[in-house]
Chain A
Amino acid sequence: MSQDFISNPDESKEFLPRYRLFYLAIAFTFITFSMRLWFLQVIQGNELREFSEKNRLKQNKINAPRGLLLDRDGKILVENQAGFEAILSPQYIEDTEDVADIIGPILGIEPEKLVAKIQKSRRQNGPFAQVKIKDNLSRDEVFRLKHVRLETPGLEIRESIVRHYPLIEDGAQLFGYVGEISKKQLPIYNQLYKNQISFEQGDIIGKNGLEEVLEKDIRGVDGIQFLQVDAYGREANTQTPNIYGEKVHDQEPVSGSNVILTLDRDIQEAAWNSYKAQQRIGAVVAMKANGEVLSWISTPSFDPNQFSANLNATYWNQLINDPFKPLRNKVIQDYYSPGSTFKAFMAVTALQEKVITPTTIVNCPGALRFGKRLYHDSKKEGHGNITVFEALERSSNIFFFKMGISLGIDKMHNYISQLGIGTKTGIELPREVAGLMPSAAWKKAAMGEEWQPGENLSTAIGQGFVQATPLQMAVAYNTIGLEGKMFRPFIIKKIVDNSGKVVRETQPTLVKDLTQTQSNGIHIDVETFKVVKEGLRRVANGDRGTAKFLKIPGVQMAGKTGTSQVMGFSADQIYQSCMSRPIHQRHHGWFVAWAPADKPEITVAALAEHSCHGNTGAGPVVRDIIRAYYEKYHPEIIAEAIRTAKGPKPKPAEIPAVVHESEDE
């Protein structure tokens, strides 16, 4: 054996007296604990049994109402409605199938599905997590559920707040929608709003658009309601004694702050009706010259009210499978080739770089040979000898091809990126994309290839690599209209908490003044802007302007039409048969304009997907928005114009059925 065992076998006997301590401790513990147990279980037993059976306090969360979204006049854009929801607590259920058989028929849910739902929640979240069976209950459902409540332990009918969007599909992508926080989002949100809000499973959060970005402000603080419930989870008679004494108080929820937007509900609705009437797909954004967004539309759209209720799977699948992407906020989340709307930027660049002067006459035939290729104008016979004014008015391709050749990509990049193309506008909405203003260096870095001289031509007419969002186009045109002053677009005007205190107010932000020298060394003279503005005024007002039929009595617009190619660049295909192609191959139409022509008050950018033409596709909605703006803010101008027009020649501005003659690019 090991040598550890050489020790004296009796050495531990010296400890024997010390064990008395332990016997004492054990006896003491046994006696004390037994007495305490006797006291609790026998002497107080009946009383505590009663507490446990009849009288218990349950904590219910009362959701705080989310703040309202209001328009600039205080009209409601997003609000809350009271509703009822049916909730089951699996822990109280005696027989799941019985319960499903009772409440299934009332709610129009198959009992098997109900059982499956409850079991699934039991497995995933344990028996203590409540299961929402149905929300937005009808009155009849509430009434009938109340009837069976006593015989259905675990069933609860709870008041709920339902987010309501009275404009329905109009502006849905802008407002966003609400829904239960997902398991994935939960840790992300708790990290994001650390020390500010703590999120729990089952919480409703804003899932997109303004609902998402305004979460912190409009969320409010949830309250707590203490309910006495019996052993089966039913509300108990509150007359029974309360073991907690008087110290338990409900905590009222604090509703979230209301948000006043720059949006104008009247203009928003006018825009929607106009776009809807023409069945257009695309995006429209209207802003005041100082950057306040007045209307914002992306179509096709969806009904956010469907998300407030239990979103049904069919509707969801329909939305995500729609090739025209109804959930996408196309105003900022999609980019398109600017097409001929880009020519305004080219004119600015060419004039400022002194490639041309306002009086320079350029010969514009029907086609231009560059390298081995022949580049066509949209007009076969060409435009002849024209200045920059006519080039913009009639949207000559050849004129701007020549500008592109003379300028080269890097000069174009220097100026046009300063107009905001390729940079996020910084609007307070999620997932804005930057678009792209290419340069030789960019191409080298992104594709590893040299810039090809031919690409100067496609870029010059807004095709090729150039990509812009409708909002960027609105901002760039607004900047031209204001002769170099760029304002940041914004939509959240004011946040007011429930005591009426202004939490935050946004002032218009002047991002830059292009008449001053910019970081890349360029500046643009006021005279340059004035020339381009005159050209753009003629687009809507000149005899041969591409948008001349888009008239509003008493108001002069200035703007530019454009076509964004969907398929590859080949001049022959373009102007022949756009409308005869399958819809997804047709070009997108652009119209970007401001009014009045000399100094913008309102600027609108519209994109009509697959409409083939800028003037007929996107033009009417722009005109309708500007008209709605004038009818609301300057009704006297329109009234005066109509009165004078009625005299000599009554000629309503009608849209010609086909306008191929003046089709640009």
Chain B
Amino acid sequence: MDLNLHVEERTILKRIDWNFVWVILALNLVGLINLYSATHGPHSADVEPLFVNQIIWLVVGWSVFFITTFIDYQIVNRVALFIYILNLGAIVFTTFFGTVALGAQRWIDLGFFRYQPSETMKLALIMLMAKFLQHRSTDGPGMGVKQLLFPLLILGIPFVFIVEQPDLGTALMIAAIGGTMILFMKIRRWILAAVIGAGIVAAPIAWNYVLRDYQKNRIINFLSPTNDPRGSGYNSIQSKIAVGSGRFLGKGFRKGTQSQLEFLPERHTDFIYSVLSEEHGLIGSLTTLGLFCVLFLVGIRIASSAREKFGALLTVGILCYVFWHMFINMGMVIGLLPIVGVPLPLLSYGGSSMLTTMAGLGLVSSVAYRRYIF
């Protein structure tokens, strides 16, 4: 008995993919240092409550990560549908009764925490998608219309409700994650062509009937930011100035004038990367971007060595989740994409984002952990 236990302990630690853990931890540290700068005035000596909150979320996040790591992710396979339905219910509830913030209903106020169901929906969708897609095969021509029906349904329902909230950013994010997973499983060429064609036709219709004014403004101002420098083009311009003014080495920790002054709105959430770029220059920006890339590469390695399709698909989905968030957030900050309210995983302030990301990465870690179990 004694010997057995000893062996078991050593294997537990060895089974964890430590490369994966270190990369996440590195990004967390970058995030914390940066958040400290973003939330504290240049000479303020007090510790802001926001920063303390984030540390708490981080501790909770890591606990979730390790708990998830040690849980057999096959359980997810069984409860995916249940979680999905529960989450969908919460979204429907929020759409009609949620707390209105910044002109949209996104939250359910739980008192200590404002729960944003559209955030966890991303994970729920990944799980259900993985559960379903594991029975398909990538050998052959890919999925046809019939096979696509169910994945599109589970993607479409939450999408419609979240658009209704209205939170187009999150809705598009869900579409991107789900869409990428479907694409990963291969679909027939002609369907792909048809979707692209339909997209081109639908764009003007969406412009006229679906998008709200502020959303249109963001796109207009992305294309021509000097159109309204004090309005919605403002963030875009200021963010570009912040990033650019960091030059090669940056202005130094807590010395970024763009971020320390009021020129960057939402600097601790959506624009956290511009604070980093301003204060730490090209070196800091590229390091962070590089860390994300390492995270993806390690993630793909985990997916490709997963024991069965479900684990691989789960990992793929969660990598998509992190990737798309990073892609859109950074693209927006450096002026390559229009302004969309999307946080940068592991770096932006916020409990919902932190917990969802850490739980997701925990699942990936669990997949890595289980590859040694036969």
- Bound-state CA distance A45–B240 (Å) is 10
A9 CB within 8 Å of chain B:
yes
A519 CB within 8 Å of chain B:
no
Q: Which of B230, B282, B307, B374 contacts A57 (CB 8 A)?
A: B230
* Residue pair A5, B262 in contact (C-beta under 8 Å): no
A245 CB within 8 Å of chain B:
yes
Q: A26-B296, A41-B285, A52-B241 are in contact. Are A7 and B44 (CB under 8 A)?
A: no
* B window 293-337: CB within 8 A of A: 293, 296-297, 300, 303-304, 306-309, 311-312, 316, 319, 323, 327, 330-331, 334-336
B137 and chain A: residue at smallest CB distance: A14
A243 CB within 8 Å of chain B:
yes
* Residue pair A59, B230 in contact (C-beta under 8 Å): yes
* Residue pair A52, B226 in contact (C-beta under 8 Å): no
Q: Which residues of B contact A46 (CB under 8 A)?
A: 247
Q: A2-B72, A91-B42 are in contact. Are A11 and B248 (CB under 8 A)?
A: no
Q: A49-B244, A51-B245 are in contact. Are A91 and B261 (CB under 8 A)?
A: yes
Q: A4-B77, A56-B263 are in contact. Are A248 and B229 (CB under 8 A)?
A: yes
* Residue pair B262, A52 in contact (C-beta under 8 Å): no
Q: Which residues of A contact B137 (CB under 8 A)?
A: 14
* Residue pair B244, A48 in contact (C-beta under 8 Å): yes
* Residue pair A45, B247 in contact (C-beta under 8 Å): yes
Could you mark each residue 24-59 of chain A with 1 if its beta carbon is under 8 Å from any beta carbon of chain B, else 0?
011001101110111011101111110111001101
* Residue pair B330, A33 in contact (C-beta under 8 Å): yes
Q: Which residues of A contact B248 (CB under 8 A)?
A: 41-42, 45
* Residue pair B262, A128 in contact (C-beta under 8 Å): yes
Report the minimal beta-carbon distance from A67 to chain B, rounded to whole angstroms. 28
Q: A26-B293, A52-B241, A127-B44 are in contact. Are A15 and B309 (CB under 8 A)?
A: yes
Q: Which residues of B contact A5 (CB under 8 A)?
A: 74, 307, 373-374
* B window 225-239: CB within 8 A of A: 226-230, 237
* A window 293-352: CB within 8 A of B: none
B138 CB within 8 Å of chain A:
yes
* Residue pair A25, B323 in contact (C-beta under 8 Å): yes
- Bound-state CA distance A123–B248 (Å) is 34
DSSP class of A's interface residues: helix, strand, loop or mixed?
helix
Q: A36-B334, A41-B246, A46-B247 are in contact. Are A12 and B230 (CB under 8 A)?
A: no
Report the minimal beta-carbon distance from A45 to chain B, rounded to whole angstroms. 4
Q: Which of B245, B300, B374 contacts A22 (CB 8 A)?
A: B300
A12 and chain B: residue at smallest CB distance: B312
* A window 199-252: CB within 8 A of B: 226, 231, 233, 243-245, 247-248
B48 and chain A: residue at smallest CB distance: A126
> How many residues on chain A are close to B (CB under 8 Å)?
63
* Residue pair B243, A37 in contact (C-beta under 8 Å): yes
- Bound-state CA distance A96–B72 (Å) is 56
Q: How many A-B residue pairs have CB under 8 A?
A: 171
B229 and chain A: residue at smallest CB distance: A244
B46 CB within 8 Å of chain A:
yes
* Residue pair B241, A243 in contact (C-beta under 8 Å): yes
B184 CB within 8 Å of chain A:
yes
* Residue pair B277, A37 in contact (C-beta under 8 Å): yes
A633 CB within 8 Å of chain B:
no
* Residue pair A15, B374 in contact (C-beta under 8 Å): no
* Residue pair A41, B281 in contact (C-beta under 8 Å): yes
- Bound-state CA distance A15–B309 (Å) is 8
Q: A30-B289, A41-B281 are in contact. Are A15 and B373 (CB under 8 A)?
A: no
* Residue pair A40, B307 in contact (C-beta under 8 Å): no
* Residue pair B312, A41 in contact (C-beta under 8 Å): no
* Residue pair A47, B237 in contact (C-beta under 8 Å): no
Q: Which residues of A contact B336 (CB under 8 A)?
A: 32-33, 36
* Residue pair B308, A52 in contact (C-beta under 8 Å): no
* Residue pair B304, A90 in contact (C-beta under 8 Å): no
- Bound-state CA distance A551–B306 (Å) is 109
A231 and chain B: residue at smallest CB distance: B257
Q: Which of B46, B290, B296, B373 contacts A1 (CB 8 A)?
A: B373
Q: Which of A12, A49, A243 contacts B304 (CB 8 A)?
A: A12
Select the residue from A21, A22, A245 with max chain B CB neighbours within 10 A. Answer: A22
Report the minimal beta-carbon distance from A16 to chain B, rounded to whole angstroms. 6
* Residue pair B46, A53 in contact (C-beta under 8 Å): no
* Residue pair B307, A52 in contact (C-beta under 8 Å): no
- Bound-state CA distance A539–B226 (Å) is 79
* Residue pair A18, B186 in contact (C-beta under 8 Å): yes
* Residue pair A53, B245 in contact (C-beta under 8 Å): yes
- Bound-state CA distance A234–B243 (Å) is 23
A428 CB within 8 Å of chain B:
no
* A window 46-76: CB within 8 A of B: 46-49, 51-53, 56-57, 59
- Bound-state CA distance A243–B316 (Å) is 43
Q: Which residues of A contact B307 (CB under 8 A)?
A: 5, 7, 9, 12
Q: Which residues of A contact B183 (CB under 8 A)?
A: 21
Report the minimal beta-carbon distance from B254 to chain A, rounded to whole angstroms. 12
Q: Which residues of A contact B139 (CB under 8 A)?
A: 14
Q: Which residues of B contact A233 (CB under 8 A)?
A: 261
A413 CB within 8 Å of chain B:
no
Q: A9-B374, A12-B307 are in contact. Are A47 and B244 (CB under 8 A)?
A: yes
Could you mark each residue 404-424 of chain A with 1 if its beta carbon is under 8 Å from any beta carbon of chain B, else 0?
000000000000000000000
* Residue pair A52, B242 in contact (C-beta under 8 Å): yes
Could you mark each residue 93-130 of chain A with 1 if its beta carbon is under 8 Å from any beta carbon of chain B, else 0?
11110000000000000000000000000110001100
Q: Which residues of A contact B116 (CB under 8 A)?
A: none
A8 CB within 8 Å of chain B:
yes
Report the minimal beta-carbon distance from B307 to chain A, rounded to whole angstroms. 5
* A window 233-279: CB within 8 A of B: 233, 243-245, 247-248
Report the minimal beta-carbon distance from A6 to chain B, rounded to whole angstroms. 10
Q: Which residues of B contact A51 (CB under 8 A)?
A: 241, 245
* Residue pair B304, A19 in contact (C-beta under 8 Å): yes
Could you mark each residue 248-260 of chain B with 1 if its beta carbon is under 8 Å from any beta carbon of chain A, else 0?
1000000001101
* Residue pair A38, B282 in contact (C-beta under 8 Å): yes
- Bound-state CA distance A169–B270 (Å) is 53
* Residue pair A4, B74 in contact (C-beta under 8 Å): yes
Report the minimal beta-carbon distance from B248 to chain A, rounded to whole angstroms. 6
- Bound-state CA distance A206–B184 (Å) is 64
* Residue pair A243, B138 in contact (C-beta under 8 Å): no
* Residue pair B304, A2 in contact (C-beta under 8 Å): no
Report the minimal beta-carbon distance from B72 to chain A, rounded to whole angstroms. 7
B286 CB within 8 Å of chain A:
yes
Q: Which residues of B contact A8 (CB under 8 A)?
A: 308
- Bound-state CA distance A44–B226 (Å) is 17
* Residue pair B230, A36 in contact (C-beta under 8 Å): no
Could you mark each residue 124-164 of chain A with 1 if its beta carbon is under 8 Å from any beta carbon of chain B, else 0?
00011000000000000000000000000000000000000
Q: A40-B243, A91-B262 are in contact. Are A11 and B308 (CB under 8 A)?
A: yes
Q: A15-B304, A45-B248 are in contact. Are A40 and B230 (CB under 8 A)?
A: no
* Residue pair B335, A40 in contact (C-beta under 8 Å): yes
Q: Which of A18, A37, A91, A243 contacts B282 (CB 8 A)?
A: A37
Report the minimal beta-carbon distance from B238 to chain A, rounded to whole angstroms. 9
B246 and chain A: residue at smallest CB distance: A41
Q: Which of A30, A48, A93 contacts B245 (CB 8 A)?
A: A48
* Residue pair A34, B286 in contact (C-beta under 8 Å): yes
A59 and chain B: residue at smallest CB distance: B230
Q: Which residues of A contact B240 (CB under 8 A)?
A: 40, 48
Q: Which residues of B contact A2 (CB under 8 A)?
A: 72, 74
B312 and chain A: residue at smallest CB distance: A12
Q: Which of B293, B303, B373 contacts A19 (CB 8 A)?
A: B303
Given contacts A37-B277, A37-B282, A48-B245, 15 further A-B pairs with CB under 8 A are: A4-B77, A5-B74, A13-B304, A17-B138, A26-B296, A30-B289, A37-B285, A41-B247, A41-B248, A42-B247, A45-B245, A47-B244, A57-B230, A59-B230, A91-B262
Nearest 5 interchain pairs by C-beta: A48-B244, A127-B41, A52-B245, A45-B247, A40-B244
**A and B contact pairs by CB, cutoff 8 A, 20 listed:** A4-B77, A5-B307, A9-B374, A11-B308, A16-B304, A23-B300, A33-B289, A33-B336, A40-B334, A40-B335, A41-B243, A42-B282, A48-B240, A48-B245, A52-B242, A94-B43, A128-B261, A231-B261, A244-B237, A247-B229
